[in-house]
Amino acid sequence: MAMTLEQAQRVGYTCLKALLRFAFMVANNLVAIPSYVLYLIMLQPLRVLDSKSFWYIEGVLFKWLLAMVASWGWWAGYTVVEWGDDVKAVSEDEAMVLVNHQATGDVCTLMMCLQDKGTVVRQMMWLMDHIFKYTNFGIVSLIHGDFFIRQGRAHRDQQLVLLKEHLEKYYRSRNRKWIVLFPEGGFLRKRRETSQAFAKKNNLPFLKHVTLPRLGATQVILKTLVAPQENGTPAGRDAVIK
């Protein structure tokens, strides 16, 4: 069936919008990421003299970069509706955020959600697959102090040791607050079958829309950053009775 003039115009307009969006994303990356890197190179003397101020400035630049990524979704017409308690109330507290990972768009969505949550974006640490180290945003995450984790049973024990060392080295020294973790270890479509087989074998809930979380990284984070508790009191201390 032949395409009408109106349909052809609509297709042409859609293709033009897609091309403009792609060009905008490329231009963003070509300008913003090198600028971020060059500014921080210029500020290296400040890092030696006043490390706290250096990482504060780096956090501001990092937040701007994530706002840039979030703008891609906004420009495409996507909006985010938040439901439930406002997490801004704990934006200054230390927290581990467990994010259900459905697709790549989850990251952009999360960036959009967190932009107005105070200092969260500039003070958070991401845990992501090591493959992202080799993407356009990899250099930014390396400088910011995010952790790249290798997947697979062969690397599991070593990666947990490296994660512990990374947290001890960078989390406190760079004044990080939130840690963003995707507990499924990957996209839902890639993990669902394995998760369901594991659930069946171990008599666990059979899940269709999420996968069973992997606990290795979560346990390392909690053991490394949270003081041991005994009945709500830090271990090794006497309870205060009033």
**3 state SS of 149:** strand
Rounded to two decimals, the pTM is 0.81
Domain boundaries, the chain: 8-79+91-225
The more confidently predicted of residues 129 and 241 is 129
pLDDT digits (tens, 9 = 90+) for 91-113: 888 988 888 776 777 777 888 88
Written as one letter, the residue type at 123 is: Q
Per-residue model confidence (pLDDT) at position 238 = 44
> Inter-axis angle of helices 5-42 and 51-75, to 10 degrees?
180
- Calculate mean pLDDT across residues 1-23: 83
Between CA 236 and CA 242 the distance in angstroms is 19
Look at residues 85, 125, 99, 121 and name the one whose alpha carbon lies nearest to residue 225: 125
pLDDT digits (tens, 9 = 90+) for 28-66: 889 999 999 999 999 999 999 999 999 999 999 999 998
The predicted structure's pLDDT at residue 85: 83
What confidence category does residue 234 fall into, taking pLDDT thresholds of 50, 70 and 90? low
Closest CA to 179 of 89, 92, 95, 109: 95
Q: What digits encode the pLDDT tens for the residues 131-155?
A: 888 888 889 999 999 999 887 778 8
Secondary structure (3-state) at 42: helix
More confident residue, 207 or 147: 147
Tokens of 212: 């069973």
Please give the pLDDT value at position 231.
Answer: 58
